[in-house]
Amino acid sequence: MNRYSDIDRDSGVVQYEYGDDYINVRFSDGATYYYNYASAGAHQIERMKILANRGDGLNAYINEHVAKRYARRER
């Protein structure tokens, strides 16, 4: 997984990885959430990839737009 840069140092996101139609996001509590096109929608996944690469806004975007629309959660 890639380290999330967290430019503002205010995020619970610590790592991420993605592929063509999904993104995995690991939070500081150790939980990893798997979002894909089927669970959250293509537009949301593509936006999450941009924010992940930018290192800013991913946690807020998840809270506001996809929250519990993950395909699975791992601890």
The amino acid at residue 14 is V
pLDDT classification of 24: cutoffs 50, 70, 90: very high
User: 13: Cβ–Cβ under 8 A, 6 or more apart, which residues?
Assistant: 4, 6, 25, 26, 27, 28, 52, 58, 59, 62
Rounded to an integer, the average pLDDT of 17-42 is 98
Q: What is the pLDDT of residue 10?
A: 92
Q: What is the pLDDT of residue 14?
A: 98
pLDDT classification of 60: cutoffs 50, 70, 90: very high
Structure tokens at 25: 């996001």
Rounded to an integer, the average pLDDT of 30-50 is 98
Whether this prediction's pTM lies above 0.85 is answered by yes
CB 52 within 8 A of CB 22: no
Domain ranges of the chain: 2-74
13, β-bridge pairs: 27
